[in-house]
Amino acid sequence: MPVHNEDIALIFDEMADLLEIEEANPFRVRAYRNAARTIRNLGRELSGLVAEGEDLTRLPGIGSALADKIREIIATGHANALDKLHKDVPASLEALLKLPGLGPKRVKALYQDLHIKTLKQLESAARKGRLHTLPGFGAKIEQRILDAIQTDRSQERRFLHSVACRYAKPLVTHLQAGDGVRDVVVAGSYRRGRETVGDLDILVTARQSQPVMQRLVEYDEVTEVVSKGSTRATVILHNGLQVDVRVVAQESFGAALYYFTGSKAHNIQVRRLGQQRGLKINEYGVFRKTQRIAGKTEKSVFKSVGLPFIPPELREGRGEIDAARAGELPKLIERKDLQGDLHSHTHATDGSASIETMAEAARQRGLKYLAITDHSRHLTVAHGLDVRQLHKQIDAIDRLNEKLKDITLLKGIEVDILEDGKLDLPASILSKLDLVIGAVHSQFHLSRSKQTTRILRAMDTKYFTLLAHPTGRLLEERPPYEVDISRIIDAARQRGCYLELNSQPQRLDLTDTYCKLAKEQGVLISINSDSHGPDDFDLLDGGIQQARRGWLEKRDVLNTCSLSRLQKMLQATMG
């Protein structure tokens, strides 16, 4: 069974979690977390690098011990070190760690004091009121845990788009290599760029359908064949991802691609337009009575109802039909429009590379400027910078700018917004920077009113440029904190500051709907990688996709500006 980067990253994440429960050396825990991040964001599969004899220790944050474990996982599918941890810490505790509000310390207390190992045991103890007797717990936390368990139970399993992509691309390549295969396209929510996907819908055109079906079920990552017919099959991959493959006729390919891309709300609206013209639209084509008049291409489907082509990212039934009819569809932003990145970290805090290495990686990807924005001192887990350390980094950036070519470094900081709305560092040092990113990294459970007021106070300070990952969510791990984003967007407009669209796959924060709201309010968005290593700049592609879902155009994005224009805009926020 092939081992993907995500499989290795999950093992390292679990090891970090279990080591935290054991209260192991924080540096050891951090090493596994950084390695998992590096592995997830690599552009190539580690299995390929190992097969080619590449030195894994050249990768950021990967030492010889971690390299050995990676090779072991690729060869055997598991890690002995994790097996040893499971002898002391039950594997079932991993499910507890995924619940919001249950960090390693609380999970350890539940295990040691109440002998709780599973979600079922946790729910039973919470319902009996046994949790709030423990130190660090309370009645509110007990209720939050019950709510989280119910939410977890009601949600279908979904996969981050970035994870689904890791499995979709090699499967598409595998199917395309079949004899007589012409087109292989992943449709559904994956094609629309949704943050998470429940399954993969793949459409194929080919001379014959049976060889495609057989090639699918013989794919080495398929662990279960749910069904297999002459033109359709459903399989489950080893990571639990369901894949539906359909072979369609060439003359119906556009109609099928349109139909299975969705969304349902969008398709219903277009079908109604067709009905008004006496047309029937389905996955086989566009018909006037029994005559097919369109369907070979998606453009022909749209043209049949008097519409221009609507990009897949917009097909959510949120006004795109009216915009298309009025000739007002946005010219969506593209990756090539980005001139720079305004959020990155180095090994001075929780990054894995030097300033110069990060600058070179950004330059290689066509960026003209890069803001170095390490964490401030309050975020102790990331070894945030104090005033003296930041002074030192400012000087280092000035020296580097004198010798760098084709890229300019901007001096910044990701400063914590404290509970009272103050910034973590004094104005005397913030005034020496090109930009200040404010971020919430603690006290996620404040009420909606208090959290909103906290952020608004921070935005009112003299030196405030950009609000990072504005809702604080981590997809499939932590819900957004309670905050009135509409008020935050309005405040950004009034104060002349900006909001971030964070491209980290687990964040993609802002959401598409809030991006659209910011656009309508005239608030510029900065699409940033929040990079912690050189390969993380490739994550900007995911940020661009999210921005497109939010209707953003080049003019709506701060870091599409030239360096000279950007510097003037940043100076206005720092004056």
Residues 135 and 175 occupy one common structural domain:
no
Q: For residues 62 and 137, state if they share a domain.
A: yes
pLDDT at residue number 152: 67
Answer with the residue of higher pLDDT: 436 or 124: 436
Question: What is the Cβ-side half-sphere exposure of residue 332, based on CA atoms within 13 angstroms?
Answer: 22
> Tell me, what CATH number does 372's domain have?
3.20.20.140
- 349 and 459 assigned to the same domain: yes
Q: Are 279 and 184 part of one and the same domain?
A: no
CATH number at residue 264: 3.30.210.10
Average predicted confidence (pLDDT) for the chain? 93
The CATH number of the domain where 79 resides is what? 1.10.150.110
> Which of 220, 247, 274 is the last residue before a domain boundary?
247
Query: Averaged over 207-214, what is the pLDDT?
Result: 96
pLDDT of residue 387: 96
Regarding whether 273 and 321 lie in a shared domain, the answer is yes
Provide the 8-state DSSP code for 283: T
Domains: count for the chain: 4
- Residues 502, 539 contacting (CB under 8 angstroms): no
Which whole number is the average pLDDT over 64-76?
94
* Lowest-confidence region among 83-92, 276-285, 326-335: 83-92
**E strands of 358-407, at which residues?**
369-372
pLDDT digit string, tens, across residues 459-510: 999 999 999 999 999 998 888 999 999 999 999 999 999 999 999 999 999 9
Together in a domain, 261 and 362: no
Identify whether the C-beta of residue 108 lies closer than 8 Å to the C-beta of residue 23: yes
Residues 317 and 342 in one domain: no
Q: Among residues 212, 247, 282, which one ends one of the domains?
A: 247
How high is the pLDDT of residue 26?
84
Whether 352 and 483 share a structural domain: yes
Once rounded to an integer, what is the mean pLDDT over residues 376-393?
A: 90
Specify the higher pLDDT residue, 527 or 40.
527
Between 86 and 269, the more confident residue is 269
Q: What is the average per-residue pLDDT within 409-419?
A: 97
Question: Is the residue at 330 inside a domain?
Answer: no
**What tens digit of pLDDT does each residue of 19-57 get?**
888 888 888 888 898 899 889 878 788 999 999 998 998
Which of 383, 539, 544 shows the shortest CA–CA distance to 38? Answer: 539
Pairwise pLDDT comparison (103 vs 348), residue with the higher score: 348
Better pLDDT: 84 or 543: 543
Tokens linked to 553? 């155009």
pLDDT at 107: 85
Q: Both 180 and 226 in a single domain?
A: yes
Helix (H) or strand (E) holding 234: strand 232-237
pLDDT level of residue 214 (50, 70, 90 thresholds): very high
- Distance from the Cα of residue 400 to its chain's centroid: 31
Whether the predicted pLDDT of 380 surpasses 90 = no
549, 314 Cβ separation under 8 angstroms: yes
Tell me the residue type at 124. S
144-187 confidence digits (pLDDT tens)? 888 877 776 656 778 999 999 999 999 999 999 999 999 999 99
Same domain, yes or no: 211 and 165? yes
pTM of the model: 0.86
- Residue ending a domain, choose from 154, 169, 201: 154
Are residue 95 and residue 133 in the same domain, yes or no?
Answer: yes
Q: Are 125 and 131 in contact (CB under 8 A)?
A: yes
My answer on whether 184 and 270 are in the same domain is no
Q: Range of 27's domain?
A: 5-154
Residue 517 placed within a domain = yes
Q: For residue 167, what is the domain's CATH number?
A: 3.30.460.10
